Structure 1
Amino acid sequence: MTMRWDAFIQQVRERGEYGSHEEADRAARVVLALLGAHLAGEDRARVAARLPETYALILLNPLQAAEPLDPQRFVRATAAWIDGATEQTAAWDVSAVLSVVADSLDEDLMHNVLLQLPPGYDVLFGRPQTS
């Protein structure tokens, strides 16, 4: 089921402890644009189907990634796209957004998404895998 924009942004705002919806929206846009570059095919479309339309379109029309970024480089790339961000604040941004995305996905889709990403993204999504 598609999450409504206000519910999505409110959850991101709470998890990221943002002072405004605008801050939460900026983080969501950057993180989802970067995530979209790492997902392909049906799984990307299935994730997009769970997101509010604004964010689904960002996920489906991503920034182009020359290569898959490992989690640390993903956080660095996020920091580069958000004015005034540091790696620490960007890690917080990534975690706030991706954990809300993870909550909107079923177990099977979350598993497929993690299979498309380099190792370590499970932690960014707030879903550490136990081996």
Structure 2
Amino acid sequence: MITDVHGPLEHQQPYSTAYEQMLEKVRYEGAYPTREKADEAVRLVLAGLGRQLTGDERVDLAARLPLEAARVLTAQIPDTQPLTGWAFVKDLATRRGASMATTRWDTGSVFSAVVAYAGPDLITRILHQLPSGYALLFGRAELNPAA
């Protein structure tokens, strides 16, 4: 009897070139040792973002991401209570069983690739929709209005 020691078929399907390029960008930005580690970070962070993002921003971002990344983002049902940037990282760390520092690193690495696909205008719209604390995760300064 021949058995497949590689696991489920879904893990054997080749990724699109666009998704491969996204993984390479995340791998480079995050200094991940393997593409699999970069893929794990992308899936974790985009699933988390999918639970936070709604409306036109969600649709527009999904349209600009590689298909595999868009599927991860849109497969999530948005939470009714949005999380601040810090709570977002804490939630991801808890789900993964990782440290806050590692999860913050993963988030920044993935969001740097998201910025490249989305462009500055869409990122600005996304940041206006999300609660405070996300700008730094996307590599931007967090500007608070003067009191």
**TM-score in terms of structure 1 length:** 0.89
Partner of residue 64 from structure 2, selected from 30, 50, 71: 50
Q: Paired residue for 1:19?
A: 33
Q: Is the 8 A contact 2:90 2:100 kept in 1?
A: yes
Pick the structure with greater CA Rg: 2
Q: Is 1:38–1:116's contact at 8 Å kept on the other side of the alignment?
A: no
Higher relative contact order (CA 8 A, sep 6+): 1
Any stretches of 5+ residues in structure 2 without a counterpart? Answer: 1-16
Report how many residues are paired.
128
Partners of 1:103 and 1:6 in 2: CA distance:
14
Shift of 1:77: 1.2
Q: 1:62 aligns with which of 57, 76, 83?
A: 76
Q: Is the 8 A contact 1:37 1:63 kept in 2?
A: yes
The answer to whether the Cα contact below 8 Å between 1:27 and 1:82 also exists between their aligned partners in 2 is: no
Deviation at 1:111, TM superposition (A): 1.0
| In the alignment, structure 1 residue 117 sits paired with structure 2 residue 137 | no
Structure number with higher helix proportion: 1
1:7 correspondence with 2:21: yes
- 1:81 deviates by 2.4
Backbone CA RMSD of aligned residues: 1.6
Q: Distance in 2 between matches of 1:47 and 1:120?
A: 19
Which runs of 5 or more structure 1 residues have no equivalent in the other structure? none
Q: Deviations over 1:81-127 (max 9, x none)?
A: 224x2000000000000111012122221111001111121100112
Confirm whether residue 28 of structure 1 aligns to residue 56 of structure 2.
no
Identity %: 38
